[in-house]
Amino acid sequence: MSAAKPTSSLERLCAAWCRLWMIRGHLSRRTYLMFALVGLLFPLAVWWGVSVSGWMDKVFMPGPADVLSRTYVWFKEDDLMHDVWISTYRVIAGFSLSAVLAIPLGLMIGTYRPVQAMLEPLTDFIRYMPAVAFIPLVMLWVGIDESSKIAIIFIGTFFQMVLMVAEDVRRVPITQIEAAQTMGANRREIVSLVIVPSAKPALLDTLRVTMGWAWTYLVVAELVAANSGLGYSILRAQRFMQTDKIFAGIILIGLIGLAIDQLFRWLHRKNFPWMYKK
C-alpha cells in the first residue's frame, strides 16, 4: 500500500472484487464465512430495525428481544423442552417408519422391473394426493393419539421417499453392475455388494431432504389434533395473539431442522470418506 501508486492498489482491489464474481469461481474460506455472516445478520438487522422504529405494531411484528424473552418464559413456565421433545419424537418416529419401509421398497423398484411396473405408477399417483387431505381419514382410522400424528408424517414423506430411493438405486452405473456380473457375482451379491454400497451416499442425501418434509408435516399434524408440541404451541399462540411465541416456535423448528441437517452432513462425511478425498 505505497502512497506512490494509489491507482495500482485501487486497481488491485477492483480486480479482487471482480474475481469474486467469476462464474463458478472460487472463494477462500474466510471470504465465504464473511458472506455467509452478512447473509445471516442482514435479515436480523432489518428485523430489529423495523421493530425498534415503532413503524409496526408489536402485536404484528415483535422484535428479536421480545421473541427471546418469550422463549425464556416458555422454557421456564410452559415446559418448552417437553414441546421440543414431543415434536422431535413424532418427526423421528414418522420419518423412521417411512424410511424403514421406503428403502427396501425403493431398492426393489429400482432393481427389478416387474416391481417397478407394479408399484411405481401407483406410488406416483398417491404422491399427488395431498397428505393433509388424509387427516380426517387418519383421525377416523387411527384416532387422535400419538399414532395419528406419526401416521400423517408417514403419509407425507413415505411416497416421495420411495420414488427418490428408487431413483437413487437406478442411478448406480450399469457398468458397476455388469463388472460384478462378469466377476461371477450372483443377484444377491450384486444387490448387497454393489447396488447398496454404491447408492448409499445418495440414499443418505434423500433421507436428509425428506427429513425436512417430515417437519413440515409435523406442523400440519399438530395443528389438527394435539395438545402439546411446537406446532400445537404455534397454533395456540395465534389464538392468544402471542405473535412473539409464533416467531419463537417457527425459529425453533428452523434451528432443530438445521441441526439435524448438519448431523446428516456430518454422517455423510464420516461414512463416505472416499467422496471427500481428492
CB of 135 to other proteins, least distance (A): 42
Spatial neighbors of 79 by CB under 8 A, at least 6 apart, are none
d(CA 258, CA 269): 17
Name which of 39 and 273 has its Cβ closer to other proteins: 273
CB of 263 to other proteins, least distance (A): 21
How far is 256 from 269, CA to CA, in rounded Å?
20
Among 52, 176, 187, 266, contact with other proteins (rule: CB under 8 A): 176
End-to-end CA distance of the chain: 37
**What is the closest distance, in whole angstroms, from the C-beta atom of residue 195 to other proteins in the complex?**
11
Q: Is 143 in the site for other proteins (CB under 8 A)?
A: no
Residues near other proteins (CB under 8 A), total: 22
CA of 271: how far to CAs of 155, 174, 183, 204, 274, in Å?
29, 23, 26, 10, 9
The 229-248 contact track toward other proteins, x by CB under 8 A, reads: --------------------
Long-range pairs, 118-125, Cβ under 8 A, ≥24: 119/162, 120/163, 120/166, 123/159, 123/162, 123/163, 124/163
> Considering beta carbons, is residue 196 or 235 the nearer one to other proteins?
196
Q: Is 187 in the site for other proteins (CB under 8 A)?
A: no
Q: What angle do CA 171, 175, 180 make, to 5 degrees?
A: 110
Q: Per rule CB under 8 A, is residue 189 in the interface with other proteins?
A: yes
CA of residue 100 relative to chain centroid, distance? 18
275 makes contact with other proteins (CB under 8 A): yes
C-alpha distance from residue 273 to each of 20, 198, 278 (Å): 29, 13, 10
Nearer to other proteins, 91 or 172 (CB): 172
Given CA atoms 248, 254, 258, 264 in this order, what sign does their dihedral have? positive
Contact call for residue 185 and other proteins (CB under 8 A)? yes
Cα angle 142-147-152, degrees, rounded to a multiple of 5 = 80
Which among 114-122, 177-185, 217-225, 238-246 is the span making contact with other proteins, rule CB under 8 A? 177-185
Taking the C-alpha atoms of residue 181 and residue 189, their distance in angstroms, rounded to an integer, is: 9
Confirm or reject binding of residue 270 to other proteins (CB under 8 A).
Answer: no
Which of these ranges, 9-17, 83-91, 160-168, 185-193, lies near other proteins under the rule CB under 8 A? 185-193
Q: In angstroms, what is the minimal distance from the CB of 275 to other proteins?
A: 8
Q: How far is the CB of 56 from other proteins (least distance, A)?
A: 53
Nearer Cβ to other proteins (7/182): 182
Question: Using CB under 8 A as the criterion, which residues of the chain lie in contact with other proteins when the complex forms?
Answer: 173, 175-176, 178-185, 189, 193-194, 197-198, 200, 272, 274-275, 277-278
